Chains A and B, each alone.
Chain A
Amino acid sequence: QQPVQSPQAVILREGEDAVINCSSSKALYSVHWYRQKHGEAPIFLMILLKGGEQKGHDKISASFNEKKQQSSLYLTASQLSYSGTYFCGTYIYTGNQFYFGTGTSLTVIP
């Protein structure tokens, strides 16, 4: 029931864009996105609650396709500070459970 993220890892140059996908085999109630830097706590980025919802702040945004049971995180004009591991987290309707995705390692180089 753990959502699967793709790609597993990506390397970008500063200023490039990236998309991280999160897919679930179960119907989703909500999708969270977190970023975790090495040795640090995960930091909450945003939550999407409704199918079709799109959110964003600064140059990071996300969408939630309820029918496809997936969410995507968009990073535009990437900065060095965007480096880290990104996790989606999904709350499913049945089972009252929250699962973190498999994770995507993103490295931004100068």
Chain B
Amino acid sequence: DTEVTQTPKHLVMGMTNKKSLKCEQHMGHRAMYWYKQKAKKPPELMFVYSYEKLSINESVPSRFSPECPNSSLLNLHLHALQPEDSALYLCASSPNVPDRELHGYTFGSGTRLTVV
């Protein structure tokens, strides 16, 4: 199994809703990432988990809350989002922690989030 699976593929939520994005990989990768991508822009790093511990939080607002229940699973909990949070949310994984990475990242196909 050489892929990263993200669910759901599309999500529409109101500003008062609470929802979660899910990401799963079964490649034994030690690092997992959340990225946010706006149209025609590069992915922007949000969070990095290394060995299931949060190692990097790129000053992301608290309405985004990551969780890594185990080495294969990464969640992103969403609460009280704003319309400007609408974007493609990408999950990625890599075999090693970022400062020892000798391989590239494997990305999931993303969740297209629309906040109304």
Contacts and interface: CB of A to CB of B under 8 A. Distances in A.
Range class of the B interface residue count: 20 to 34
Contact of A96 (B90, B99, B107): B99
Contact of B98 (A34, A41, A87, A91): A91
Given A30-B101, A96-B56, A41 B108 contact: yes
Given A96-B98, A98-B98, A44 B41 contact: no
A85 B105 CA distance: 16
Contacts of A46: 104
Nearest to B97: A96
Nearest to B91: A41
Contacts of B41: 103
A45 B104 CA distance: 8
Nearest to A33: B104
Contacts of B103: 44, 47
B42 interface: yes
Contact of A101 (B4, B42, B45): B42
Interface in B17-49: 40-45
Contacts of B99: 29, 91, 96
Interface string A6-42: 0000000000000000000000011010100000111
A102 B43 CA distance: 9
Given A40-B109, A41-B90, A41-B107, A87 B101 contact: no
Contacts of B4: 41
B62 to A, nearest CB: 21
Contacts of A44: 103-107
Contacts of B43: 42, 87, 100
B29 to A, nearest CB: 13
Contact of B110 (A41, A47, A103): A41
Most A CB atoms within 10 A — which of B90, B102, B104? B104
A42 B35 CA distance: 11
Most A CB atoms within 10 A — which of B102, B103, B105? B105
Interface of B: 4, 40-45, 56, 90, 98-99, 101-110
